[in-house]
């Protein structure tokens, strides 16, 4: 342990602690911009400079290790002036059209300017008008907003282990972009959107589809149906100032109905349907000597990662569509037939925590009815915009329920949004099928939590089922390498493309780097889903009476001929490198 003083306060911390971390322990906030906990610690922006007794210069607190007897001063006149000058220089060639920016009022640069009381920029740098990359269906890149903090680069390279963006050029002409100035759409980006979540400004953003949805809602010829993913309800409240981890399921359903959607359905129904299909697929592979391990296919970011980087494992992927695509296919087949609606007139809008779903939506193989299963995907953030544009007082809305049948779900579906949730939901159903019993012990905590890779062996009806869970493609790599080497002996593997699972997807509400220092975002949002699971009267997917009715009236049986045509898909190998 090391003892030091910060602004006259004595603090004792482990010797490998930085001054930034030590200051936080005594309630002293040091401003940051390029710093992102456990991701990016490079001291590049110089916003966290502090003064150290007997040192000859100001030093960056985010990379400065503590030492015994150190005296640190965080708000001397020299420190405050240095931070102001640094920020003014960053702003000197920044596109400052804040009102037009998607990050207006959630921008960390804007917040710092307010905190340091910067009301004019004494330096006017040369503005280079660089083209905005809008070719990707998921992610747009505006280099004019970029402040070169490299948080997105560290996230893409070190967290997700994809590495499709990086610094190019030198000095004033440095930009963060794909190799050779390519578009994001021309490189093996997996569209996870974690770069957007890492970016402190508006240099990276999702492709906005809100205008298309408003147009559909205003078209009297269109029957517009909306569905919402499990993770959305655990985060949407943050867009309206509610505490992190608030579950807003009922308010969300009410708001969507007020916006004008003809039907408000729940992707949780699609999650229950996924377990019926995927659980049956697992059992068939085990019994018939099929390709094992079976790997889940709910996360489109993970699917694209596998197509680019692990094509030899494509046969291991479940052929099941993701839950919202399944539900979209059901809406444009079963629902359309039951209600006498031409599927050409149905518009399906999915509210997702994920930017990769925008890419997934336009995959040509996801159009089993002859029409795209899903027409538009909005992120949680975009839904927040929709609700605000409609003038809805979200916080004070009374709770409402989803529309019947395709809005019905179980607790097993609710936990899909957390890492390990798909695995646990599947085990609940598979265990009942194998034992022929309605088991009461259904909480498989071994697959919960945010460890990089979780492994467990579950004994079901005398059979040991070995499972593994990874979240974030960076964590998935060592697990996939193990499977490629023929090691592990797994039967079932769950992989989510985003660290923490869907609750921290690239389309979820922004959380500042300062708040992330003290908050386990994934844990708090996941708790809302596990609490919802515990409160549900039914907690196993195969117990959902509406799912049972769907099989009785339409599909016949899981993995049957009709369900295979509508609810399953295929994948393809994609280039590992930039393509034209």
DSSP for 19-40, please give it: HHHHHHHTT-----SS-BTTTB
Please tell me which residue in 299, 318, 368, 563 is annotated as part of the active site: 318
Residue 372: both structure tokens together? 């795209």
DSSP state of 99: G
- CB-count burial class (<10 Å; 0-12, 13-18, 19+) for 446: middle
Which one from 502, 541, 559, 563 is the annotated catalytic residue? 502
Is position 318 annotated as part of the catalytic site?
A: yes
| Catalytic residue selected from 15, 115, 312, 365 | 365
Q: Give yes or no for a contact between 206 and 379, defined as CB atoms under 8 angstroms apart.
A: yes
429, 412 Cβ separation under 8 angstroms: yes
Per annotation, catalytic residue among 152, 156, 298, 306: 298
362-368, long-range: CB within 8 Å, 24+ apart, which pairs?
Answer: 362/137, 365/569, 365/570, 366/321, 366/325, 366/328, 366/569, 368/329, 368/333, 368/565, 368/566, 368/567, 368/569
Q: How far is Cα 90 from Cα 179, in angstroms, rounded to an integer?
A: 24
Check if 365 is active-site: yes
Distances, alpha carbon 21 to alpha carbons 44, 251, 521, in Å: 17, 38, 18
Residue 350 a catalytic site member: no
Would strands 166-168 and 175-177 be described as parallel, antiparallel, or unpaired? Answer: antiparallel
- Catalytic position from the list 140, 186, 360, 382: 360
Cβ-count burial 398-429 (b if 16+ within 10 Å, e if not): eebebbebbbbbbbbbbbbbbbbbbbbbbbbb
Q: Is 281 a catalytic residue?
A: yes
Token couple for 231: 């993770």
Spot the catalytic one: 21, 108, 281, 307. 281
Q: How far apart are CA 497 and CA 420, in angstroms?
A: 12
Residue 195 falls in the annotated catalytic set: no
Asked if 508 and 197 count as a contact pair (C-beta separation under 8 A), the reply is yes
The catalytic residue among 145, 357, 454, 540 is 357
Contacts of 145 (CB under 8 A, 6+ apart): 94, 95, 101, 201, 202, 203
- Residue 194's Cα: distance from chain center in Å? 7
Q: Residue 341, exposed/middle/buried by CB under 10 A (0-12, 13-18, 19+)?
A: middle
Phi, psi angle pair for 448, to nearest 5°: -90, 165
Catalytic residue among 108, 140, 277, 278: 278
Percent of the chain that is helix, strand, coil (3-state, to 5) = 40, 15, 45
Verify whether residue 278 is a known catalytic residue: yes
Enumerate the active-site residues: 278, 281, 298, 318, 357, 360, 365, 502
């Amino acid at each position: 342990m090391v003892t030091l003083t910060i602004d006259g306060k004595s603090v004792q911390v482990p010797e490998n602690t930085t001054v930034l971390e030590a200051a936080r322990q005594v309630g002293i906030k040091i401003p940051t911009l390029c710093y992102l906990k456990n991701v990016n610690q490079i001291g590049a922006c110089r916003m966290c400079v502090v003064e150290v007794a007997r040192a000859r210069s100001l030093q960056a607190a985010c990379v400065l290790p503590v030492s015994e007897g150190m005296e640190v001063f965080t708000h001397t006149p020299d420190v405050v002036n240095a931070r102001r000058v640094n920020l003014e220089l960053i702003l000197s060639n920044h596109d400052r059209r804040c009102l037009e920016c998607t990050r207006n009022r959630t921008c960390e640069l804007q917040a710092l300017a307010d905190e340091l009381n910067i009301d004019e920029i004494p330096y006017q740098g040369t503005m280079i008008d660089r083209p905005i990359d809008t070719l990707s269906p998921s992610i747009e890149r505006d280099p004019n907003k970029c402040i070169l903090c490299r948080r997105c680069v560290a996230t893409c390279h070190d967290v997700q282990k994809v590495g499709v963006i990086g610094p190019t050029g030198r000095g004033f002409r440095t930009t963060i972009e794909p190799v050779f100035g390519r578009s994001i759409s021309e490189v093996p980006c997996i569209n996870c959107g974690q770069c957007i979540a890492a970016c402190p400004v508006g240099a990276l953003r999702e492709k906005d589809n809100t205008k298309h949805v408003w147009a559909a809602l205003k078209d009297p010829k269109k029957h517009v149906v909306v569905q919402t993913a499990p993770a959305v309800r655990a985060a949407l409240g943050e867009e309206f100032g509610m505490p992190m981890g608030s579950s807003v399921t009922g308010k969300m359903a009410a708001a969507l109905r007020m916006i004008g959607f003809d039907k408000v359905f729940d992707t949780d129904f699609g999650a229950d349907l996924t377990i019926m299909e995927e659980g049956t697929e697992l059992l068939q592979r085990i019994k018939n000597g099929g390709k094992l391990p079976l790997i889940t296919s709910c996360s489109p970011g993970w699917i694209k990662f596998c197509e680019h980087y692990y094509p030899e494992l494509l046969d291991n992927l479940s052929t099941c569509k993701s839950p919202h695509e399944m539900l979209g296919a059901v809406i444009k087949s079963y629902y359309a037939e039951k209600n006498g609606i031409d599927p050409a007139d149905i518009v399906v809008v999915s509210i997702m925590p994920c930017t990769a779903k925008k890419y997934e939506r336009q995959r040509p193989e996801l159009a089993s009815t002859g029409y795209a299963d899903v027409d538009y995907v909005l992120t949680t953030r975009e839904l927040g915009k929709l609700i605000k544009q409609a003038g809805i007082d979200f916080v004070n809305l009374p709770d409402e329920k989803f529309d019947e049948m395709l809005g019905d779900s179980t607790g097993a579906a609710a936990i899909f949004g957390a890492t390990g949730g798909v695995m646990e939901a599947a085990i609940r159903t598979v265990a009942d099928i194998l034992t022929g019993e309605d088991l009461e012990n259904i909480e498989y905590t071994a697959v919960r939590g945010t460890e990089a890779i979780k492994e467990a062996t579950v004994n079901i009806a005398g059979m040991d089922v070995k499972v593994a869970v990874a979240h974030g493609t960076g964590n998935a790599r060592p697990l996939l390498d193990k499977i490629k080497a023929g090691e592990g002996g797994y039967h079932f593997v769950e992989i989510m493309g985003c660290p923490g699972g869907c609750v921290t997807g690239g389309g979820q509400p922004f959380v500042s780097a300062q708040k992330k220092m003290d908050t386990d975002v994934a844990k708090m949002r996941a708790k809302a889903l596990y609490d919802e699971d515990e409160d549900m009267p039914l907690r196993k997917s195969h117990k959902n009476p509406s799912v049972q009715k769907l099989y009785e009236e339409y599909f016949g049986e899981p993995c049957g001929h009709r369900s295979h045509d509508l609810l399953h898909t295929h994948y393809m190998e994609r280039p590992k490198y930039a393509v034209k």
